[in-house]
Copies of this chain bind each other. A is one copy, B any other.
Amino acid sequence: MTFIGIEAGGTKFVCGAGTGPDDLADVTTFPTTTPEETLAWTRDYVTAHAGGLRAIGVASFGPLDLDPTSATYGYITSTPKPGWTFTDALGPLRAAADVPIGFDTDVNGAALAESRWGAATDVASCVYVTVGTGIGGGGVLDGRLLHGLSHPEMGHLTVRREPGDDFTGTCAYHGDCLEGMASGPAIATRWGKPGQQLTGSHLAAAVDLEAAYLAQMAAAMAYLLSPHRLVFGGGVMHLDGLLDAVRARTVDLLNGYIDVPAVTEQIDHYIVRPALGDHAGLLGAIALAADANP
């Protein structure tokens, strides 16, 4: 059991042991209840798999304190999730096993996993975006996760409204930022039902709006970060035709300014789906464990 990965999500925690996609055992899912109960499960999982353990990786919903010099390093910080504000995610694990612990956002973990084993193994940098209950993104540049003052919070980008769109947006902080206009809850609020129940002209209109806003994010990443690949995952990306629509709108928006063939001629290879499927989050945590292992 070289590594343990813990994917800490807002609705469920997933634990697994192994070294990668072809070596992943004892995958176990817990519902996210109280911090005490949920973290006790992760602690017990570690205790049960402590033999030969070399490192643990935790890929968590955020925001997180990732500053190793901070007194609250390893905490989930100002999350709106009830009961979880300023939760020490790593303390219970440290008590269970004296091994290095890698800790990062779920989306940075997924970016690392896609870069190592998935949709971006052939390029030096990628950004992973998830479009679901929220919108978030993580990045890997030359094998290193994107960090600075804090971790990225890509979902809250200011977007330009599509003509005629007067939806107020669902973001508690910003109203009509990208997440407020294009997350799963935004679709559900806008149309009165979840995206996967939309059909016909409503589906077409929803896909068109989603593509318009997500293309602004793709273009912003191309302008500010210039990654080699953009990986778009999350439940909303399963809307029929959305990925192709995002590709087309991104090309339109860039309008030839990023004049490299990867964008102008091979957009289908520039904006892609994740390759690791349901285990991307857990594999992100395994990758964080591997990188924490000295």
A contact set with B: CB distance below 8 Å: 63, 77-78, 124-125, 137, 141-142, 144, 146-161, 173-174, 216, 219-228, 253, 255-260, 262-263
Contacts and interface: CB of A to CB of B under 8 A. Distances in A.
Given A150-B260, A263-B149, A174 B255 contact: yes
A148 B259 contact: no
Given A148-B141, A219-B158, A153 B260 contact: no
A210 B196 CA distance: 41
Given A146-B225, A150-B226, A226-B147, A259 B63 contact: yes
A255 B180 CA distance: 14
A150 B222 CA distance: 9
A43 B250 CA distance: 41
B226 A224 contact: no
A157 B224 contact: yes
A223 B158 CA distance: 10
Contacts of A260: 149-150
Contacts of A161: 160
Given A78-B259, A161-B160, A149 B226 contact: yes
A144 B88 CA distance: 32
B255 A146 contact: no
A148 B225 contact: yes
A169 B263 CA distance: 25
Given A160-B160, A160-B161, A161-B160, A258 B150 contact: yes
A258 B223 contact: no
A149 B262 contact: yes
Contacts of A253: 158, 174
- Identify the interface centre among A146, A158, A174: most chain B CB within 10 Å of its CB: A158
Nearest to A65: B260
A138 to B, nearest CB: 11
Contact of A257 (B146, B156, B160, B221): B156
Contacts of A220: 157-158, 220, 224
23 contacts: A77-B259, A78-B259, A124-B148, A141-B146, A148-B227, A149-B226, A149-B258, A149-B260, A150-B226, A150-B258, A150-B260, A153-B222, A153-B223, A153-B226, A154-B224, A157-B220, A157-B224, A158-B253, A159-B160, A160-B160, A160-B161, A173-B255, A174-B253
Contacts of A158: 159-160, 216, 219-220, 253
Contacts of A149: 125, 222, 226-228, 258, 260, 262-263
A289 B219 CA distance: 31
B225 A152 contact: yes
